[in-house]
């Protein structure tokens, strides 16, 4: 990955960025690297960086643009907490990890279609294991809040909420058991996240999601809950060496 490239403002527009990228690619090619990735924001301020990457053969992949949403205003006043939404317990963790992985299966299938099998296999040699590990860490992080939607004593969905000291709450992760999808559970968890954020005097709630077919249900859920897209996107640039 090209982690960061910067050129002194007084020396920009002289091809220095492109030469730095070219040198980096040559070094990586000699080291036997097959693919190089670079993440870049998709707005006017990064136009020179886009041009430098394109000049060296990078192509944009549609799989990874991230849409950042924010709630411009909380929809309604705080309501009583739904009886079915409660704090996660240790007994819930394994079930949440299991259905959480299944909930993301269509997402990773979408990624594989967009990346192609070779590149996807390099990025995600064992996506199920890595996703399970990520979910387990997220829902057990003591610095955050994880709430579950209880259905007959078992979790049917969960939301991980991060709140900072600057009035911003972040829906870090949300998943619903595929067997229980289509019942409005995701929207209830989103609404609860709003209400919980109000209780803690947050000013904004944000969530990031990808702009691929596998994330379409998530985007619909966020938009129906009152989120609006912001013009800030990350996209993935790839070159095959």
Considering the domain architecture, whether residues 56 and 128 belong to the same structural domain is answered as no
Range of 137's domain? Answer: 72-225
Element (H, E) at 94: helix 93-103
Cβ distance 204 to 99 under 8 Å? no
For the question of whether the overall pTM of this predicted structure is more than 0.85, the answer is no
Considering the domain architecture, whether residues 48 and 123 belong to the same structural domain is answered as no
What is the chain's percent helix, strand, coil content, to nearest 5?
45, 25, 30
Q: What angle do CA 147, 150, 152 make, to 5 degrees?
A: 165
| pLDDT above 50 for 65 | no
For 6-39, the pLDDT digits (tens) are: 888 888 888 888 888 888 888 888 888 888 877 7
How far apart, in whole angstroms, are the C-alpha atoms of residue 63 and residue 205? 24
Between 30 and 80, the higher pLDDT residue: 30
Considering the domain architecture, whether residues 169 and 120 belong to the same structural domain is answered as yes
In a domain, residue 238? The reply is no
| pLDDT above 50 for 46 | yes
Considering the domain architecture, whether residues 23 and 139 belong to the same structural domain is answered as no
């Amino acid at each position: 990955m090209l982690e960061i490239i910067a050129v002194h403002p007084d020396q920009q527009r002289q091809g220095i960025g492109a030469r730095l990228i070219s040198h980096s690619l040559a070094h990586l090619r000699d080291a036997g690297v097959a693919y190089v990735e670079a993440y870049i924001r998709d707005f006017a301020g990064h136009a020179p960086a886009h041009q430098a990457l394109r000049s060296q053969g990078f192509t944009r992949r549609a799989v990874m643009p991230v849409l950042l949403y924010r709630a411009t205003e909380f929809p309604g006043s705080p309501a009583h907490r739904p009886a079915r939404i409660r704090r996660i317990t240790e007994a819930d963790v394994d079930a949440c990890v299991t259905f959480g992985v299944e909930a993301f299966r269509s997402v990773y299938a979408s990624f594989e279609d967009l990346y192609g099998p070779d590149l996807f296999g390099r990025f995600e040699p064992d996506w199920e294991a890595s996703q399970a590990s990520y979910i387990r860490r997220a829902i057990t992080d003591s610095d955050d809040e994880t709430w579950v939607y209880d259905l007959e004593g078992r979790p049917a969905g969960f939301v991980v909420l991060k709140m900072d000291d600057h009035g911003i709450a972040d829906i870090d992760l949300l998943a619903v058991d595929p067997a229980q999808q289509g019942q409005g559970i995701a929207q209830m968890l989103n609404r609860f996240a709003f209400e919980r954020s109000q209780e803690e005097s947050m000013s904004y709630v944000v969530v990031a999601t990808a702009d691929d077919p596998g994330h379409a249900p998530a985007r619909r859920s966020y938009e129906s809950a009152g989120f609006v897209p912001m013009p800030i996107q990350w996209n993935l640039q790839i070159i095959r060496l």
